[in-house]
Every structure is written in C-alpha cells, then in structure tokens.
Amino acid sequence: MPEVKTRDFPAASAVSILDPQIRMALQRAGTGFDGGRRECIEEVTPQVWEEWREQARQTKLHTLDHLDYYLEMLEERVSANGGQVHFAADAAEANAIVADLVRTRGVRIATKSKSMVSEELNLNHMLESIGVDVYETDLGEYIIQLAEETPFHLVAPALHKSKEEVSRLFTEKLGVPPMDDINALAAAAREALRQRFLEADLGISGANFLVAETGTLVIITNEGNGRLCTSAPRIHVGITGMEKVIPSVQDLAVFLRLLPRSATGQRITSYVSMVSGPRKHDDEDGPEEFHLIVVDNGRSRMLADPDLREALMCIRCGACLNICPVYQKVGGHAYGWVYPGPIGSIVSPMLVGLDQASDLPQASSLCGACREACPIRIDIPRMLLHLRHKLAEEPDAGGRAKGTMPRPIANGFAKVMANPGLLSATRKFARAAQAMLLGSPISPLARGGRGIRKAGLPLLSKWTHSRDLPEIAPRSFGEIWKQELSNPDGER
Amino acid sequence: MAEATGTPKSEFLASVRRALGRQAGPPQTEYPRLAQGIEQLEDQAREVRERVQANRGALLDKLAEVAQLRGWQVRRTPDPEEAMDYVQSLADGQGANRVVRSRQEVFEAVPLDATLTGMGITVTEVAHGEGASRESLREQIAMSGMGITGVDYAIAETGSAVIVPRRGLGRLVSLVPPVHVALVRPDDVIESLDDLFLMRRLEYMRNGGDMGPYLNFITGPSRTADIEQTIVVGVHGPKEVHMVLLG
Amino acid sequence: MTVCYPNHAIHPLEARIDHRNADPRRPHRPRTGFGKALLVESRTQADLFVTCIIDQIYPQVGVSVVRVLRKLGVAVGFPEGQTCCGQPLYNTGYTEQARRLARRVLDGFRDSTYVVVPSGSCAAMMANFYPELFRDDPEMLEQARTLSSKVREFSQFLTDVLGMDDAGATYDGSVTYHPSCHLLREMGVRNGPIRLLENVRGAEYRELPNAEVCCGFGGTFSVKYPHISEGMVADKVANVTSTGADTLVSCDMSCLMNIEGALSRQGSDMRVRHLAQVLDDDGTHS
C-alpha cells in the first residue's frame, strides 16, 4: 500500500488551505464539474434524475446484499468467455498475482489506464521493482506519475497542477522544449505515449462496473487510452474492487446515465468499453489473454458493518468532492491517502484502519451536501457519525477517545444537561466568571465588536482566532418565561 | 489456459459470505432483470424494432442533433454517391495518403475504395488472412491518416456509435488514425441505452452465453480536461470524428 | 393585521417517512379542568423546545418565538426542566450520553400536541436522529417515533401546520436568508422561510448567492478544524455582504453565531436575526 499519511490531515489541511493555486484549481472544479452536473439534472428534470438515483441505488443494494452470489456468477462467466478471474484478499496478494503474470509471460512494458484500486495497491511501485516499465496513460495520471505524486481528485488527478508546472515537468522528464499551450502539452504526452501503447505487452485497467451475468468489465473514459490499453497489448489485466459488480448488462443503462453526468457534467463520455474476455481466434486484434483481479483489501470489513456497507455503493464519480465545502477548501492531498473528500473520509479509515485515520471522520461539518449530490444517494453524513461513534466507543491505549471530544468533557456536558439545577448553577458560575474576567485588565477574556474578541482559553481561543464570541445572556429564556411569559390563562 | 492465483475462489467467497452473514445460494427473490428469459426479451426486442421503425425519421433527426452536440461532425447523405463524395472531400482535406477501413456490409452500399484509390490514396481493408498478417495490418493502421468503419448500432439518446469488434472489424481502425469516419445506415439507429442493452442481452442469450469479447461506444472525439480543466481534443484517440448518416 | 387559522395540513415529511405514523392532531388532553379545556380545544397547542443555545445565549429569540406564535393564536407551552437535545454529543459519537438527554426530552414532551423548535438542527436531531438513537430499543423507539411526528421547526410550524405564508409582520430593511444545512437537508425545509420573509411588510428580500453552502459551523468542527471553518465562514460572509442587505436571517442561532462572529470581527454593521425576530412585530425584543 502507498504510504498512509491520513494522520497528517490537520497539519496538511492547514497548509493546503493557504495555497492560492490549489484554491484556483478547486474553484475551477467546483464551477466546471459541479456546475455541469447541476445543468444535467435540470436538463433531464429533477424528477427523472431521482428515478435514476433510486433505480441505481436499489441495484447496488441488492448486489451488495448478495455479493458472494454475483461474484461467483461473474467468475463463471468470465471463465466461460475464456478469461481468468483471480481473487486477492489484500494488496500484497493482488500485487503478487500481477507479479506472477509478469514473470510467467515475460512482460517488459506495461501501459495503464486509470485505476484507483491500483493506487491502493501501489502497483506501479511493485512493477518498477521487478523491472517492468510501467506507463500511466490517462493524461492526469501520467502527469502525477512523472511528478511522483498521488491523485488530487478522483476523476481529475492532476487538477492542482498549473500548465506551467506541467510544462516544467515535461521538459525535465521528457526532454521537450517548454510550452505554454495546453494543446501542445497534451500533444507531447500523446507523442511520448503513442509508441508505448504499441510496444506494451501488458495493458492494465481498472473497472467502473463488472457485469456478473455476462462476465464483462466496463470502463468509461474520454481520452482513448483505456481503449488502447484494452486493445493493443497481448495481455489485458483488469484490477478492481469486489464491490464493482452489478447483476445484468441491462443495469448499465442507468449507471451510464448517472456516472458521467455526476462526474464531469458530461451526458456521456467519449468512450465506453466493455471487455468480456480475450479476443476470439478470428478477431482482427485484441489481447490474447484477459485476467480480472478482484480485490478485497479491507472491503469485507465495510461489508460486515451494516452501517458502513453503503460506502461500497460508491461509483467514484467525485460529485461529493466537488460539492464538499471542506474538500473545496483543502483539496485532495490533505486527506493523506488514495481516496479524498467525504467518501474518502469513510473509505480510507475502513481500508487503512480507523486509528490511522481518526481525523478524517471529524473533517466534516455534516452539512449533507455530499448526500444530496451522490448519484447513489449514499448517506455519507450518517456513516461519518457512525465512525465518530466507533471512535468515541473505542478509546486508544491511553483511554482517550480518538479525535472526538474528550470523554470527560462529553460526560460532564451530559451530566450538566441532564440536571436543570446543575445547569442553572453552572450558568451562574459561568456568568460570574465571565463578568470577572471581562472586568479584569489582566484577563484572557476581552470584549470587542458584538461580544468577546479575545478568549485565551482552550477551545474558545480556536473560535476567537477569527470570530467574535457572544456572551452568556444575563437571563436565560427559562427565567424570562417564568418571570414574564408564562400565562396561566389557559396555557401551561 | 491460465491458473488462478491468489486466494482460492471458495475461500474468498466464504469470507464475503461471513461478512454478509449469509448462506451460499441465490437471492430469495430473483433479481427482476435476470428473471427475464429469452422469450420475454424477444418480445421486448420486437417492440423496440417496431418502435424504431415507426419513428425512424425522428430518430435520425435526433441522432444527428445529439451526435453533433457530443462532438461528431455529422453529415446526412441519403444518396450513397453523395456519401462517397463527402468521404473523398474529407480525405482530400486531410491530405491523407493512407486510409484503413473495416470489412463490413456498409461498404457494399458505399464502395469507397475505387474513389479513394483514384485520388492516389492507399486503401487497406483491415482483415487478416489472404497474405495480410495481423502485425502488418497493425502497421498499416498506425501509418494511416484516416480510419473508416460502419457501426453496429447508433444510439439517438447519446449520439454514440457502437462497434462490436470481430473478424473484419478491428478495434484499432476507429482508434489509432487521427480521423475516424463512421458510416451509419438508417437501420443501425436505435433510440436509447435501454434498447442497446436489451439487444445485447438478447444476443448473449441467443448465442448461448456469448456476446463477443469487446464492445465500444464512441461518442465524439478523444478528449481530456486534465490540465487546468481546459478541454483538448485528440489525446490518444482521434481528434476528428465524422458521422456520415446514410439517411 | 390578518390572523391566519391553522388548516392542519399534513406535512410532507409525514407522508414520506413511514415511521411517522402517530397522529399529532389527536384531541388535546386537557390538564387543567373541564372548563378551561373547552377553551383550549379550539386553539392549536404547541410546546416550545427552545434549544440550549437560545436559552443561554439568545433568550430574546425565544421571546420572539413565543410572541409570534401567540399573535397567530397558538397556545404556547414551555415544559420546564428542558435543556439540550443531545446533538453535540450525538455528533461527536457519544451516543449513550446523547440517549440520556434524549430520554429527558421524550419524557418532557410526552403529552405535547406539537413540539416547536426554533432550530433546524435541533429539530432534525429530535425528528430524525432520536429514532436512530433508539433503533435497538423497541419501547423507546416507539416514543421517539411519536415525538418525531410532532416535531416542527419554527418556520415549518407556521407554513405547514398553521398553513400560512404571511405572518402579518412588518420589518424595516432589506433581508437576505441563509438556509441552515440541517433545516434544508434533514428537515427538507427550503422555500417556507423565504415565502414568510417575502411577505413581511416593508422588508425587501434579497437572494443570497451560494445560499446552500454550509457556513462552516458544524458544532465541534468549528473548533476541531478552525482553519477550515474560518475559510468556510469567510465565503459565507462575502456572499452575505455581497447582497447589500442590512439584515441576515436564518432559522438556526448556531449558524448565526458563527456568521455574526465573523461579521463582527470585520466590523460589519449588518444585523443578524432569527426568522422569529423579523416576524415579531414589536421591535423591543429584536
């Protein structure tokens, strides 16, 4: 697995939020991707959109609830088509399967189309370590590979790179002259990769969907690299998570409508490719071997928890990233692992371990915009709450809750709020303390604006860093009610 | 062929079952789509064909309109002569010396070879055997400025050409040359994605569990917006795609 | 002034969520003797859950809520001993502690016809999250579902229970409206508050750009990740000030505390009001 830096979220987000280039890139994604998505919904009408969402959701729910059945069907049908399915319990096993294919087939050059699961496995690193020249061929992924970074966004991995940076990178790594035209940069990448496509022995792809009934791998792309990777080399290996399966080829209609619209605001992508096995002996071209690696790598943990199973319905469109006010501030790298944004804050903790990623479920205001945007209506806020609950229930070795409100504070809060007399006493004490501190010249508290400008106290200082804080009111509403509002005439 | 490596299937499926807390076996209620057998699909396919037949004019108009919006350069040429003139003008405009085409029925109605050869263009039919090896054909494709194919379906809803590769219809003809020309006959047109997948499923069942190893939707040119969200056409696939609608 | 009478319309949430099967429109059970009960029968009864933030920090909002409801002919009750709905605990994962507070609320509002909550967020806690809190406890779950069917956020009570878009109020100034996330996405209240504002005499309603983006409060989120929360509220403040309105209105004091805190820090003189304060004719409490 690639290095897990999910623990760095607080520090990394504090840096990335100040980066003007990241801010610009995120704004572009917000207006471009999310704006396009909204236009598409208006175009098909929100009513129809809701019908599609419901249909897709029901399909995914059904498949996940019977995942073993459909995986078995998938395996049988791929085999019947002349392909080979391999099952991988974890990243190491998935990499070992690929390494074995490389060794037994004498693979020297591999081209790869976009696959988030391969990022999970750190597959390129493994391939390089056994002497395979591996080329990412999606333009964004290619840039990221040259820059030795990880994807910034689920569908636009190099979103954060300016064309100047890409030009510098190409000059340094490809030896091409500097260029300031984006068309020219894309042409340089095409040029650099064209020969690789034709030389490669191995094409690697991910999968957007796996159709159980027909044993079909479906990929959705725009550039044509996916078509090349699945057509030109003599071996095609598809690598994907076990949750990608859907029952029938007829289910694809609704997913092909939802995914591109949700991802980039496109009505459909330039290409949809469906692979159901190696080429038939009479075909003009196509790989002689087709292997499908179905990866668990922590997914059965999500499957086993009914409160988190929904996260496996994700089709990786990125709509939740484009609308999330937190992702839109901090960008993808701050999340510290393969999957950023709201869905990443669920998937990453479940795949790398909750103790490693305890900061991520907290990185949300629970505003619910992600659920509204999700084409499968995945209830992300509920799952974030569920993870917070797990964190609160499973304190770390020192007995402290991980990342949430400290347990003694929660207990104290509950104790006070469960006892109106105690609340009243606490209120009196807090009022007195507030008055004393506000009246003192050497106090951590100082008035300003419409309330308290400075509060040199734990937690409160985090608030007053850029916001004024209201004071506790002289009388509580309860007191006012008793003194002025309670009306014995027919009312309680 | 190959041996499966990794976790044995039975073990992997057992761990999935454990996670789900369920016993092996099919769902209690069969998934509605899978429950539909070949007879029902035949009936539905007949309805689709009747519907398409009855609305062909409108569907062709819609296809032309949507395909244009998705980035195809659409030309409607009901007359085959006109189609040939148009392809000729495209080849001329490209200055292509080499053109590859598939071996499909549509070229009987639109016999392009003589016209193009007359312009000094080398036309290669991509079909192996008869002295043409797969390797040599692949080289021809890589050198060509234009690839011409028919389509198996054209979907009005999405403006897509659907190609099911097979003998005579290589995958790379519509992919590697910088220009792709798709010849669409009125009979190829269907209305929606639902129609397409119904037909494909029916095909699968009729053929006893085989629908060919590959299928591709093509909808406009190859494109990317991976640098600064700026759209660039012609990354790894064709920069220019033409839909010649023979109706 | 026009007083509109309740039409007892069924709220769409009741039709949508099947667990809301309890009927809040059952006859009110009089507590204070037969004679008074006759008087009570004819008026809509509502008990106020004032929320802890209004109780402790913004009591004037609670006063406006009571005044507006009374002006509209509602018999308002205020069950004593109420504190917090438990949301801060629930949102930080302390479900057992949250249950402790939820039980108090369920008990305190057991006899209510309607429970009016001047906060979308606390209303969502009671209406949507209580049933989840008690999903493994059939008896409490039943109580939670019953309460859920009675809970209405303040604006929702006006538009859906009392059936009015015009509370007959007057306000001098231009107003813009921030829809709080839980009101919008948990309670499904989108247009009601805007209709109410548009019908306030003298008030000019101005649409807020990017209105449905979170203000960055998010409870503990605001102090767990202050740098992100600050960035979010800065955007909100920029949008709010871009309207040129002189009053910002919302239905959640927690969001308003956040936005006002940032406005105040910038030295802005924009007024910040709960919807109830704008609908409260007598300006003395606003």
Tokens of B83: 């189609």
> Which chains contact A through at least 3 pairs of Cβ atoms less than 8 Å apart?
B, C
| C-beta neighbour count of C29 within 10 angstroms | 10
CATH number of the domain to which A255 belongs: 3.40.50.10420
Residues A87, A230 within the same domain: yes
Residues A144, A280 within the same domain: yes
Task: Look at residues A252, A277, A297 and tell me which one is the last residue of a structural domain.
Answer: A297
Contacts of A68 (CB under 8 A, 6+ apart): B13, B14, B16, B17, B20, B22, B24
Cβ pair A390:C212 closer than 8 A? no
Cβ pair B213:A186 closer than 8 A? no
- Give me the number of domains chain A comprises: 3
Residues C189, C252 within the same domain: yes
Contacts of B232 in chain A (CB under 8 A): 182-183, 186
Cα–Cα–Cα angle for C10, C12, C13, rounded to 5 degrees: 110
Report the pLDDT value the prediction gives residue B131, as an integer from 0 to 100: 83
Report the pLDDT value the prediction gives residue C5, as an integer from 0 to 100: 33
Among chain B residues, CA nearest to A269: B219
Residues A135, A215 within the same domain: yes
Residues C187, C138 within the same domain: no
Q: Grade residue A261 by pLDDT with cuts at 50, 70 and 90.
A: very high
Cβ pair A182:B228 closer than 8 A? yes
Task: Look at residues A297, A326, A354 and tell me which one is the last residue of a structural domain.
Answer: A297
Cβ pair A276:B20 closer than 8 A? no
Report the pLDDT value the prediction gives residue A42, as an integer from 0 to 100: 98
Among chain B residues, CA nearest to A155: B226
Residues A60, A97 within the same domain: yes
Residues A85-96, mean pLDDT to the nearest whole number: 98
Contacts of A364 in chain C (CB under 8 A): 218, 221
Residues C59, C120 within the same domain: yes
Q: Tell me how close the Cα of A475 comes to any Cα of chain B, in angstroms.
A: 54
Residues C35-57, mean pLDDT to the nearest whole number: 79
> In this structure, is residue C22 part of a structural domain?
no
Q: Measured between alpha carbons, how far is residue A143 from residues A128, A150, C138, C273 in Å? A: 17, 10, 56, 50
> In this structure, is residue C20 part of a structural domain?
no
Kindly report the three-state secondary structure assignment for every residue of C70-103: HHCCCEEECCCCCCCCCHHHHHCCCHHHHHHHHH
Q: Tell me how close the Cα of A329 comes to any Cα of chain B, in angstroms.
A: 17
B24 lies within 8 A of chain A by CB: yes
Residue-number span of the structural domain to which A346 is assigned: 309-393
Give the sign of the dihedral formed by CA C275, CA C276, CA C279, CA C285: negative
> In this structure, is residue A31 part of a structural domain?
no
Tokens of C179: 């829809």
> In this structure, is residue A142 part of a structural domain?
yes
Residues A93, A222 within the same domain: yes
Cβ pair A280:B8 closer than 8 A? no
CATH number of the domain to which C56 belongs: 3.40.50
Would the pLDDT of B171 be above 90?
yes
Report the pLDDT value the prediction gives residue A401, as an integer from 0 to 100: 53
> In this structure, is residue A4 part of a structural domain?
no
pLDDT digits (tens, 9 = 90+) for C237-258: 999 999 999 999 999 999 999 9
Cβ pair B33:A247 closer than 8 A? yes
Q: Tell me how close the Cα of C268 comes to any Cα of chain A, in angstroms.
A: 9
Residues C139, C175 within the same domain: no
Which among A472, A427, A476, A471 has a CA at the least distance from the CA of A449?
A: A471
Q: Tell me how close the Cα of C170 comes to any Cα of chain A, in angstroms.
A: 22
pLDDT digits (tens, 9 = 90+) for A28-66: 888 889 999 999 999 999 999 999 999 999 999 999 999
Query: Residue A241's beta-bridge partner residues?
Result: A295
Would the pLDDT of C32 be above 60?
no
Task: Look at residues A297, A318, A348 and tell me which one is the last residue of a structural domain.
Answer: A297
Tokens of B239: 């920069």
Residues A426-452, mean pLDDT to the nearest whole number: 93
Cβ pair B193:A272 closer than 8 A? no
Task: Look at residues C129, C161, C193 and tell me which one is the last residue of a structural domain.
Answer: C161
Would the pLDDT of C204 be above 50?
yes
> In this structure, is residue C157 part of a structural domain?
yes
pLDDT digits (tens, 9 = 90+) for B145-160: 999 999 999 999 999 9
Report the pLDDT value the prediction gives residue C282, as an integer from 0 to 100: 63
Would the pLDDT of C37 be above 60?
no
> In this structure, is residue C14 part of a structural domain?
no
Cβ pair A369:C104 closer than 8 A? no
> In this structure, is residue C215 part of a structural domain?
yes
> Which chains contact C through at least 3 pairs of Cβ atoms less than 8 Å apart?
A
Tokens of C193: 């508050």
DSSP 3-state of B224: strand
Q: Tell me how close the Cα of B189 comes to any Cα of chain A, in angstroms.
A: 17
Q: Tell me, which fold does domain B35-245 have in CATH?
A: Rossmann fold (3.40.50)
Q: Tell me how close the Cα of A105 comes to any Cα of chain B, in angstroms.
A: 11
Q: What is the ipTM of this complex?
A: 0.97
* Amino acid, res. A228: L
> In this structure, is residue C36 part of a structural domain?
no
By mean pLDDT, which of B6-10, B35-39, B125-129, C8-12 is the weakest? C8-12
Cβ pair C223:A423 closer than 8 A? no
| Phi, psi torsion values for B83, nearest 5 degrees | -60, -45
Q: Grade residue A398 by pLDDT with cuts at 50, 70 and 90.
A: low
Q: Tell me how close the Cα of A424 comes to any Cα of chain C, in angstroms.
A: 10
Among chain C residues, CA nearest to A366: C218
Would the pLDDT of C16 be above 90?
no
Would the pLDDT of C15 be above 50?
no
Would the pLDDT of C286 be above 50?
no
Mutate to test the interface with A, among C186, C225, C237, C253 (most CBs of A within 10 A): C225
Q: Grade residue C172 by pLDDT with cuts at 50, 70 and 90.
A: very high
Cβ pair C88:A413 closer than 8 A? yes
Residues A333, A202 within the same domain: no
pLDDT digits (tens, 9 = 90+) for A289-336: 999 999 999 999 999 999 999 999 999 999 999 999 999 999 999 999
Least CB-CB distance to B5: which of A75, A86, A138? A86
A-to-C residue pairs, Cβ atoms closer than 8 angstroms: 214
- Give me the number of domains chain C comprises: 2
| C-beta neighbour count of A175 within 10 angstroms | 8
Question: Cα–chain-centroid distance for residue A405?
Answer: 25
Cβ pair B26:A66 closer than 8 A? yes
Residues C97, C207 within the same domain: no
Cβ pair B13:A273 closer than 8 A? no
Nearest-angstrom CA–CA distance, A16 and A13: 5
Of C36 and B93, the one with more pLDDT: B93
Nearest-angstrom CA–CA distance, C229 and C209: 19
Residues A152-156, mean pLDDT to the nearest whole number: 92
Do chain A and B touch: 3 or more Cβ pairs under 8 angstroms?
yes
Mutate to test the interface with B, among A87, A93, A139 (most CBs of B within 10 A): A87
Among chain A residues, CA nearest to C95: A389
| C-beta neighbour count of A357 within 10 angstroms | 29
Instruction: Tell me the pLDDT of chain C averaged across its residues.
Output: 88
pLDDT digits (tens, 9 = 90+) for B183-209: 999 999 999 999 999 999 999 999 999
Q: Tell me how close the Cα of A4 comes to any Cα of chain B, in angstroms.
A: 24
Residues A282, A337 within the same domain: no
Q: Where are the domains of chain B?
A: 35-245
Residues C89, C133 within the same domain: yes
Task: Look at residues C142, C161, C180 and tell me which one is the last residue of a structural domain.
Answer: C161
Q: Grade residue C2 by pLDDT with cuts at 50, 70 and 90.
A: very low
> In this structure, is residue C195 part of a structural domain?
yes
Of A177 and C1, the one with more pLDDT: A177
Cβ pair A138:B226 closer than 8 A? yes
Contacts of B135 (CB under 8 A, 6+ apart): none
Cβ pair A186:B227 closer than 8 A? yes
Q: Grade residue A397 by pLDDT with cuts at 50, 70 and 90.
A: low
Nearest-angstrom CA–CA distance, A407 and A146: 46
Contacts of B214 in chain A (CB under 8 A): 230-231, 273-276, 279, 283, 286
Tokens of B86: 């148009």
Residue-number span of the structural domain to which C154 is assigned: 42-161
Q: Grade residue B36 by pLDDT with cuts at 50, 70 and 90.
A: very high
Among chain A residues, CA nearest to C222: A463
Element at B73 (helix H, strand E): strand B73-76
Nearest-angstrom CA–CA distance, A2 and A121: 7
> In this structure, is residue C30 part of a structural domain?
no
Q: Tell me how close the Cα of A456 comes to any Cα of chain C, in angstroms.
A: 14
Nearest-angstrom CA–CA distance, B150 and B104: 7
Cβ pair B226:A270 closer than 8 A? no
Report the pLDDT value the prediction gives residue C10, as an integer from 0 to 100: 36
Burial of residue C135 (number of CB atoms within 10 Å: 0-12, 13-18, 19+): exposed
Residues C204, C278 within the same domain: yes
B214 lies within 8 A of chain A by CB: yes
Residues A111, A207 within the same domain: yes
Task: Look at residues C133, C161, C189 and tell me which one is the last residue of a structural domain.
Answer: C161
Among chain C residues, CA nearest to A427: C56
Contacts of C187 in chain A (CB under 8 A): none
Which among A253, A384, A260 has a CA at the least distance from the CA of A317?
A: A260
